[in-house]
Amino acid sequence: MSQNLLELKNISHFFQLGEGKKFKVLQQISLELNPGEIVALLGPSGSGKSTCLRIMGGLLKPTHGSVMVEGKPLSGPNPNVSMVFQSFVLLPWLSVYENVALGIAPLDLPEEEVRIRVKKVIDLVGLEGFEEAYPRELSGGMKQRVGIARALVMERPILFMDEPFSALDVLTAESLRKEVLNIWMSKKTATSSVVIVTHNITEAVSLGGRILVMGTNPGHVRVAIKNELPYPRDEKTAGFKSLVENIHDVITEAINPDTPDWIPPAFMASTVEALPPVSISEVIGLMEFIATNGGRADLYAIAQTLGKDFGQILFFAKGAELLDFVDTPKNGIVLTDLGRRFISSDVNMRKKLVHDALLQLKLCQLIREQLQAAPNYVIPHAEVVETIHNLLPNEDSEKQLETLIQWGRYGELFGYNADVQELYLDVGQENT
């Protein structure tokens, strides 16, 4: 019987928030990792993919469900796993050689054997000649090579990569990705299977034999896509492109609250949506662009015309969509009637429209209710942050509040006094 390397059985995970409050980060995740495959966990921030990886690595103990390694339940760090980190996590006071050797330090091997093993992986990742260099002397790409070498030297069957290339520039990321794939295909290392966490669709498609697309609130696997394109994969082939497009459709649908075909209705009611990290002016900018384009545009085309990152444009779109100013059918983006009214309005009317739209948002409603209940309609900064954290534990609450304040100020829903660090209800506006 062929045995899987690692198995997640019905994993659900909660983050414990103070005073007995809990927030669900992961819901009902089951996953088998087979020998010799690459699994990509793809999803937006807040879909719990890093949490999932840490549970598989034994760094976090799941609230429910079990992690099985070689048929036995896992407790403590997973001994079959090595890991590459987004931020490299190199020790600046150790040379490249010493950083790599740290990976096998607990084995207490004789010096000669350490040298042989370290030399082998250093050659493999292309760091020859840099053994005595210190991390600060290296570029980002070279640093991540050290991170990869440290993982490979451990000679463990499973390699975890947590957004390994997202701190690198595009070209470096692409070439390093290819090299990692080559190393894995060459079978020169002990690495049998790889789990990579990413938010980059192309990356997932070019590496993943299985791609698990994850959704948010709580994190769950929306769809598992088997990718049987032969390695190494050429991004220019029709098969590759169509797969990217398909996955893209799956993801963009997630930002479209109108067609929640995958969200159980019972859950919808209580869903609090996170605000994308964009300012109102950026959202308006996007809408103006669509308006000049005849009220309809293609998200890709917008990204290209504006010279912006596609992910950024998705955020703008999500912002506009939360306010019900646009719809996002497939790749396109269309102004709604409300959106058209907004574009043709003057500033005061625009503020009024944003005001009304914000009142439809669960997050704004809850904060406003809290404000109305507070003495003098004032809540201190820390308290709001905590509320947001309780509602959206996977988001950066400070960032959420920042966006909320910015939007709320525009919509004259509430204001923020930076001197005393308090959020206050814009009472004047309430009375009119």
Partner 1 sequence: MYSRVPAVLDRKFSYADLLLLLIFLAFLYYFIGLARQWNGAFHPEAAIDLSLWALPKYSFFSLIRAFVAYILSLGFTLIYGYAAAKNKTSEKFLIPLLDIGQSIPVLGFMPGLVLGLISIFPNSNMGMELACIILIFTGQVWNMTFAFYASVRAVPTPFYEMSDVVGLGWFRKFRKIELPASAINLAWNSLMSMAGGWFFLIACESFTLGEKNFRLPGLGSYMAVAIEKDDSHAMTAGVIAMSLVIIFTDFLIWRPIISWTRKFRLEEVEGEIEDTPFLTMLLRESKLIKVLKDLLRAFKRAPVRIKEFSQEALPSALFPIERQLLQSEQTKRRWKWFKPKLKAFFSAFIGTLTGILIVWIGTRLWELVRVLNWIDWRLILIGTFYTMLRVFVALVLSSLWAIPFGIWVGLHPKLTRFFQPIIQLAASFPAPMIYPLALTLFFKIHVGLSISSAFLMLLGVQWYVLFNVLAGAISISRELSESFDLIGVSRKDRWKKLYLPSVFPALVTGWITAAGGAWNASIVSEYVLYRGTTLKAAGLGSLISEATASGNYHLLGGCLIVMVISVVGINRTLWRPIQRFAESHYRFER
In angstroms, what is the minimal distance from the CB of 310 to partner 1?
Answer: 27
Name the one range near partner 1 by CB under 8 A: 98-106, 198-206, 250-258, 357-365.
Answer: 98-106
Q: Which residue in 18, 20, 73, 110 binds partner 1 (CB under 8 A)?
A: 110
In angstroms, what is the minimal distance from the CB of 418 to partner 1?
Answer: 8
Measured torsion, CA atoms of residues 90, 182, 141, 155, in degrees rounded to the nearest 10: 0
The one-character DSSP state at 95 is -
The one-character DSSP state at 96 is H
Q: Tell me the β-bridge partners of 16.
A: 22
**Comparison of 129 and 265: residue with beta carbon closer to partner 1:** 129
Which residues, at least 6 apart from 105, have a Cβ–Cβ distance to it below 8 Å?
none
- Report cis status (omega within 30 of 0) of the bond before 276: no
DSSP string, 27-69: EEEEEEE-TT-EEEEE--TTS-HHHHHHHHTTSS--SEEEEEE
**How many other β-carbons are positioned within 10 Å of the β-carbon of residue 232?**
12
Backbone angles phi, psi at 169, to 5 degrees: -75, 165
Q: Where are the alpha helices (DSSP H) in 210-346?
A: 238-254, 265-270, 280-292, 299-306, 310-322, 337-343
Could you say whether residue 35 binds partner 1 (CB under 8 A)?
Answer: no
- State how far the Cα of 119 lies from the Cα of 152, in Å rounded to an integer: 11
> Is residue 49 within 8 Å of 55, Cβ to Cβ?
no
Which residues, at least 6 apart from 246, have a Cβ–Cβ distance to it below 8 Å?
225
**Comparison of 88 and 184: residue with beta carbon closer to partner 1:** 88
**Comparison of 111 and 337: residue with beta carbon closer to partner 1:** 111
**Comparison of 77 and 232: residue with beta carbon closer to partner 1:** 77
**Comparison of 154 and 250: residue with beta carbon closer to partner 1:** 154
Residue type, 81: V
Could you say whether residue 18 binds partner 1 (CB under 8 A)?
Answer: no
Could you say whether residue 94 binds partner 1 (CB under 8 A)?
Answer: yes
For residues 198-237, which are near partner 1 according to CB under 8 A?
none
Could you say whether residue 85 binds partner 1 (CB under 8 A)?
Answer: yes
In angstroms, what is the minimal distance from the CB of 202 to partner 1?
Answer: 25
- Report cis status (omega within 30 of 0) of the bond before 218: yes
Could you say whether residue 87 binds partner 1 (CB under 8 A)?
Answer: yes
Name the one range near partner 1 by CB under 8 A: 26-34, 99-107, 229-237, 366-374.
Answer: 99-107
**Comparison of 151 and 251: residue with beta carbon closer to partner 1:** 151
**Comparison of 136 and 236: residue with beta carbon closer to partner 1:** 136
**Comparison of 151 and 299: residue with beta carbon closer to partner 1:** 151
For residues 55-84, which are near partner 1 according to CB under 8 A?
57-59, 75-77, 79, 81-83
Could you say whether residue 130 binds partner 1 (CB under 8 A)?
Answer: no
* Site for partner 1, rule CB under 8 A: 54, 57-59, 75-77, 79, 81-83, 85, 87, 89, 91-94, 102-103, 105-106, 108, 110-111, 134, 136, 150, 154, 160, 419, 421
